[in-house]
């Protein structure tokens, strides 16, 4: 080891070369030097492992009501159990080299293992969960997922804390949302706690893929797809619930300043009576063309408007927030309400709760429109705007291209802007610098 290695150099070295280290570990040649070695050893020595010992701390339910409790429909059948989980580890030659932690783009590299749980109504319901090496899915070309977008997902992250321990952030919220989405999609609901435990096991097996840096994390993608091979537009009697893991850097490149947004009322992301409040694939595919339009116009992301009064709904794939001076001369923060048009974001919910705890300004879930934003900007009463989501955490907005104008938002020009404090608080909790019940240590 070169003595010029700083702590971060060292962490990067470990991250890049641990596939070799694991191979050597398998041959008992070396002892891993990072905090994760204990879990890797445990994962590899299955016979010594008590598979029920994963520690999921139960956190308090969210204060902001999250309208998402539901019972399993009677016809779902058997639920899967964490205690039935089987593990088939990748052979040493199946382990992938890890990319440089500085070099991670979003969702491009994947870890060595995946979790999969099949559902077949005719076999009684959910089958036994299994962790396998990362491998391709083998599906009939008539599977409903290919034709009718019978598919949904969640976005979560595992964070390597400053203490080296791995944390999740409010995972029970993702499970609640995923189940409500499954119900809306004609797909079977499942035991969210059992899935969290199985995913934790997966993360611990691939724990060396959780980057040793605060600028990165391990993105977790639980996915549920309908795989019944028939072409009728109907519920899928077979489904596959799987989880893949991807080490990710920042979703947006840092240092590039705030986002410039393309706000064209010609495009709509969602509408009343649709599925805009559910995390289904159908909310994403149709946005790709519009996002290309945004890029052509020199913008980073789309600001999604709705209705004749051009109300703001989401920005890119994030919820949107605005801080302004209200008619009483007071600071007030707004975010659109959960009226069916927007995704009930977990970062969104966390921000609302944090701001309420701080009590320094009012925060309201309330509709607001582009013409009004334009007015506020002209009067100097628009302070900050930002997007919020799991992938990007909190992203400041700097400009909005709207009806031929460019509206400047002085988000980054504020003295100690609120968005940055929110970013610091959220990542502080996620990376273990702030002790908070939202962070669940999983090792």
Q: Among 91, 85, 67, which residue's Cα sits nearest to residue 19?
A: 91
Q: Which is nearer to its own copies, 127 or 235 (CB)?
A: 235
Q: Which is nearer to its own copies, 35 or 316 (CB)?
A: 316
Q: Which two tokens stand for residue 418?
A: 């609120």
- Distance of closest approach, residue 143 Cβ to its own copies, in angstroms: 8
Binding site for its own copies (CB under 8 A): 105-108, 110, 114, 134, 136-142, 145-151, 153, 183-186, 219, 221, 223, 225, 229-235, 242, 244, 246, 265-268, 271-275, 280-289, 291-292, 316-317
Q: Among 179, 201, 189, which residue's Cα sits nearest to residue 132?
A: 201
Q: Which is nearer to its own copies, 83 or 105 (CB)?
A: 105
- Distance of closest approach, residue 243 Cβ to its own copies, in angstroms: 9
Separation in Å, CA 107 to CA 27, 157, 187, 261, 297: 31, 12, 25, 23, 25
Q: Which is nearer to its own copies, 64 or 235 (CB)?
A: 235
- Asked if 430 and 439 count as a contact pair (C-beta separation under 8 A), the reply is yes
Q: Among 283, 201, 185, 191, which residue's Cα sits nearest to residue 243?
A: 201
Separation in Å, CA 157 to CA 206, 225, 229, 315: 13, 21, 32, 20
- Distance of closest approach, residue 4 Cβ to its own copies, in angstroms: 35
Q: Which residue do the tokens 């404090």 mark? A: 421
- Distance of closest approach, residue 35 Cβ to its own copies, in angstroms: 27
C-alpha to C-alpha distance for 218 and 422, rounded to whole angstroms: 21
- Distance of closest approach, residue 383 Cβ to its own copies, in angstroms: 29
- Distance of closest approach, residue 223 Cβ to its own copies, in angstroms: 6
Residue 190 half-sphere exposure toward CB, CA atoms < 13 A = 34
Q: Which is nearer to its own copies, 357 or 403 (CB)?
A: 403
Q: Which is nearer to its own copies, 95 or 418 (CB)?
A: 95
- Distance of closest approach, residue 265 Cβ to its own copies, in angstroms: 7
Q: Which long-range contacts does 103-109 make (Cβ < 8 Å, 24+ apart)? A: 103/249, 104/211, 104/216, 104/247, 104/248, 104/249, 105/248, 105/249, 106/219, 106/246, 106/248, 106/249, 106/251, 106/391, 107/219, 107/221, 107/246, 107/248, 108/246, 109/246, 109/247
- Distance of closest approach, residue 141 Cβ to its own copies, in angstroms: 5
- Distance of closest approach, residue 1 Cβ to its own copies, in angstroms: 34
Q: Among 299, 331, 328, 320, which residue's Cα sits nearest to residue 416?
A: 331
C-alpha to C-alpha distance for 319 and 347, rounded to whole angstroms: 8
C-alpha to C-alpha distance for 285 and 147, rounded to whole angstroms: 13
- Distance of closest approach, residue 266 Cβ to its own copies, in angstroms: 6
Q: Which is nearer to its own copies, 25 or 149 (CB)?
A: 149
Kind and range of the H or E run holding 383: strand 382-389
Q: Which is nearer to its own copies, 9 or 108 (CB)?
A: 108
**259 has which bridge partners?**
397
C-alpha to C-alpha distance for 166 and 157, rounded to whole angstroms: 10
User: In sequence order, which residues have a C-beta less than 8 Å from that of residue 127 and are 6 or more positions away?
Assistant: 80, 117, 118, 119, 120
Q: Which is nearer to its own copies, 10 or 146 (CB)?
A: 146
- Distance of closest approach, residue 128 Cβ to its own copies, in angstroms: 19
Output DSSP code: residue 170.
S
User: In sequence order, which residues have a C-beta less than 8 Å from that of residue 186 and are 6 or more positions away?
Assistant: 150, 226, 234, 235, 236
Q: Which is nearer to its own copies, 51 or 275 (CB)?
A: 275
Q: Which is nearer to its own copies, 63 or 231 (CB)?
A: 231
């Amino acid at each position: 080891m070169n003595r010029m290695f700083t702590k971060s150099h060292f962490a990067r070295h470990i991250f890049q070369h641990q596939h070799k280290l694991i191979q050597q570990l398998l041959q008992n040649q070396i002892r891993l030097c990072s905090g994760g070695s204990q879990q890797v050893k445990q994962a590899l020595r299955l016979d010594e492992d008590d598979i029920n010992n994963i520690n999921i701390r139960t956190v308090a339910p969210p204060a902001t009501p999250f309208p998402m409790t539901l019972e399993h429909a009677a016809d779902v059948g058997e639920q899967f159990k964490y205690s039935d989980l089987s593990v088939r580890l990748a052979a040493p030659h199946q382990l992938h080299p890890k990319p440089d932690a500085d070099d991670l783009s979003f969702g491009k590299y994947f870890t060595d293992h995946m979790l999969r749980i099949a559902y077949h109504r005719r076999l009684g319901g959910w089958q036994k969960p299994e962790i396998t090496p990362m491998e391709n899915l083998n599906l009939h070309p008539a599977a409903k997922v290919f034709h009718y977008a019978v598919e949904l997902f969640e976005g979560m992250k595992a964070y390597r804390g400053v203490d080296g321990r791995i944390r999740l952030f409010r995972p029970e919220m993702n499970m609640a949302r995923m189940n409500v989405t499954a119900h809306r999609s004609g797909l079977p609901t499942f035991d969210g706690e059992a899935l969290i435990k199985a995913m934790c096991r997966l993360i611990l097996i691939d724990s060396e893929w959780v980057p040793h840096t605060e600028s990165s994390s391990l993105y977790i993608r639980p996915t549920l797809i309908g795989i019944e091979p028939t072409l009728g537009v109907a519920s899928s009697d077979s489904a596959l619930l799987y989880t893949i893991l991807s080490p990710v850097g920042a979703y947006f490149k840092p240092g590039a300043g705030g986002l410039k947004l393309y706000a064209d009322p010609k495009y709509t992301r969602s509408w009343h009576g649709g599925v805009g409040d559910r995390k289904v694939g159908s909310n994403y595919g149709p946005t790709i063309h519009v996002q290309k339009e945004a890029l052509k116009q020199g913008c980073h992301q789309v600001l999604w408007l709705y209705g004749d009064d051009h109300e703001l709904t989401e920005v890119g794939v994030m919820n949107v927030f605005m801080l302004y001076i209200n008619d009483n001369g007071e600071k007030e923060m707004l975010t659109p309400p959960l009226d069916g048009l927007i995704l009930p974001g977990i970062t969104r919910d966390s921000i609302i709760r944090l701001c309420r705890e701080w009590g320094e300004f009012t925060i309201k879930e309330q509709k607001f429109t582009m013409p009004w934003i334009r007015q506020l900007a002209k009067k100097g009463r628009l302070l900050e705007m930002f997007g919020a989501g799991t992938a990007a955490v909190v992203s400041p907005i700097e400009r909005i291209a709207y009806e031929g104008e460019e509206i400047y938002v002085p988000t980054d020009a504020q003295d100690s802007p609120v968005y940055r404090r929110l970013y610091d608080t959220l990542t502080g909790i996620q990376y273990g610098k702030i002790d908070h019940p939202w962070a669940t240590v999983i090792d």
